[in-house]
Amino acid sequence: MNQNFVHYTSQNNKLNISVYGIENLAFAPCLIFVHGFKGFKDWGFGQYIGNFYAEKGFFVLSFNFSHNGVGDSLTVFTELDKFAQNTFSLEVEELGEIIDLYRSNFFGQTKNEKIFLLGHSRGGAIALLTASQRKEVTAVAVWSCVSTFDRYSNRQKEEWRKKGFFEVFNTRTKQAMRLNVSLLDDLEKHKNDSLNIEQAVRKLRRPLFIAHGDQDLAVPLKEAEFIYDWSDKRITEFYKIEGTGHTFNCKHPFACLAGRQEGSNAKFDLLLEKTYNFYFQH
């Protein structure tokens, strides 16, 4: 079971938050799950992750970035205007505010100061950037993580500025989703400092777990290898998962209808266990 909360950020943006394992809060470490691009906290394996780690004794926080596009629908992209206005820096700021909420006892009193981050895809990069700035973070795990936000050609950027937006297609929902020039401006302004993932990893100096499927078509395996190369090998673990893609063979919705239960699979369950073992060590 999960409980839901709402928080308005310092910029008056609404964050929808789910917590798992509220009964663990007083003494448990906190695990914060960070969703990725075109993702949301309840996508596919989201609730499964929350319940899994709550049963392992964590207090688990998952949340939707204010501009991820789903709004109060929670699972349907109904706020494409906000999606278009999103920036990387805004997501780093909002993850920082989630950390502050936990530390200020917004969810209840706790005596455990350990905070673990778990980020998927772009959420992994947001977790790395945030952790490099926040000493309160104990350790970070990233799944299918991007190694750079600069994923656009010069020609695409020129068209982006000319049109005023860049369009991405969501193959699952069949929606054309726009990104405003504000995202490109944010990237180009901060790509050598606050949004530089390589710099963040090199200065992290905290335990890091990297997991990546060898058949990931959205984020190639080489990006995980870059992150590992930048990391402190003494406190970094790299787990390559053979025969899996970007979401480790999980889909949305997680449990299919018409009597077919897809849900989890052996490789994803092993990933959950290995990530847990990494956290347990620290």
User: 47-73 pLDDT, tens per residue?
Assistant: 999 999 999 999 999 999 999 999 999
Q: Does some domain include residue 49?
A: yes
CB 93 within 8 A of CB 101: no
Q: Does some domain include residue 46?
A: yes
CATH number, domain with residue 83? 3.40.50.1820
- Total structural domains within the chain: 1
pLDDT of residue 257: 42
Question: Could you count the other beta carbons within 10 Å of the beta carbon of residue 270?
Answer: 13
Q: Does some domain include residue 178?
A: no
pLDDT of residue 256 exceeding 60, the answer is: no
Q: Does some domain include residue 184?
A: no
**Residue 129 and residue 123: Cα distance in Å, rounded?**
10
Give the model's confidence band at 259: pLDDT under 50 very low, under 70 low, under 90 confident, else very high: very low
Whole-prediction pTM: 0.97
**Residue 222 and residue 244: Cα distance in Å, rounded?**
15
238 is in which domain, residue-wise? 2-152+190-281
What is the H or E stretch that residue 172 is in?
A: none
- Which residue's entry shows tokens 């053979």? 242
Q: Does some domain include residue 168?
A: no
pLDDT of residue 263: 86
Q: Does some domain include residue 169?
A: no
User: 197-238 pLDDT, tens per residue?
Assistant: 999 999 999 999 999 999 999 999 999 999 999 999 999 999
Q: Does some domain include residue 144?
A: yes
